[in-house]
Amino acid sequence: MILEAIFLKGGGQFSDYVREWADTRGIEVVSYEFKPNQDQEPHGLLLVNENHDITKEIGEVYSLYDRKHIPTQKIDINGTLQVAMNSFRMWADKNKCKRVLILGDNDLVKNENLERFFSNLK
C-alpha cells in the first residue's frame, strides 16, 4: 500500500496532526471541501475514531460515501493496533485506494493511540 495523497477537511487539530504526519513522509495533502464534481476526488474514506464514537457531521459524510459505493474504512484507535494496521492495509490494497480522505474528531489528538497508529502506518 502506497498512499499518493491524503485529503483533509480544512483546519482543525485532527487535520493539522495528519497534515504534519503526511509532510514528514512526503505524501501530498489536498484540502477537501466536500463539493460535488471536484477536480480531484479521493478513492476512499478512512474514518478514524475512538470507541466507535463519531460526530454527526462525520457520520453523514461516511454515509454519503457508503451510498455512493466509494470504499470506506473505520479504524478504532483504541482497538488492537496490529488488527487496525492490517485491516487498513488490506482495505487500501483491495480497493486500490491511493488517494484517501481521512476524517476524525479533533479530540482524537489527545489520545496517545493516534500517534501509535500513524507512526506504524507506512
pTM equals: 0.90
Q: What is the CATH number of the domain that holds 86?
A: 3.40.50.450
d(CA 39, CA 110): 34
DSSP single-letter state for residue 55 = -
The pLDDT tens digits of the residues spanning 4-31 come to 999 998 889 999 999 999 999 999 999 8
- Name the domain count of the chain: 1
The pLDDT tens digits of the residues spanning 48-87 come to 999 888 889 888 988 988 898 999 999 999 988 899 999 9
> What grid cell was written down for 34?
466536500
d(CA 113, CA 65): 26
pLDDT at 21: 94
Q: How far is CA 116 from the centre of its chain?
A: 15
As a whole number, the mean pLDDT across the chain is 89
d(CA 102, CA 47): 6
pLDDT at 91: 94
Asked if 55 contacts 65 with a C-beta cutoff of 8 angstroms, the reply is no
Sign of CA dihedral 99, 104, 109, 114: negative
Counting every residue, how long is the chain? Answer: 122
Residue 98 has pLDDT above 90, yes or no: yes
- Domain holding 93, by residue range, is 5-120
pLDDT at 51: 85
Roughly how many angstroms between the first and final C-alpha of the chain, as a whole number? Answer: 8
